[in-house]
Amino acid sequence: MCPYCGRDYRVQMYPGQAPVQMGEGVKIVLYLLSFLIWFVGVVIGVVYYTKPDAESKQFGQMCIILAILGLVAWAVCGTFAWVL
């Protein structure tokens, strides 16, 4: 507190803001994108997996898993197309 004017210079404590939650529709679109374009899925997954909240980590992990599954599916389909 200022002894002359009485202004309070102490740091104001604000309650922590809740993280913005992602809608289910956006999640589904990003899941599909992760499966269909695997390298985009890996990038999305890493970005969300490094966030501190548990929901983001779970979402990031699922994107990475879908990206790996998409890559495997792409490799299998490509191999069969090449053989035939």
Q: What percent of the chain has pLDDT over 70?
A: 87
Count, in order, helices (H) and strands (E) of the chain: 3, 0
Q: Is the pTM of this model over 0.85?
A: no
Identify the weakest region by mean pLDDT among 5-9, 57-61, 71-75: 5-9
pLDDT: which is higher, 10 or 35: 35
Per domain, the residue ranges of the chain are 24-83
Looking at residue 82, what is its pLDDT? 76
Write out the E strands in 1-84.
Answer: none
For 22-56, how does the pLDDT look when each residue is reduced to its tens digit (9 = 90+)? 889 999 999 999 999 999 999 999 999 999 888 99
Mean pLDDT score, 72-82: 87
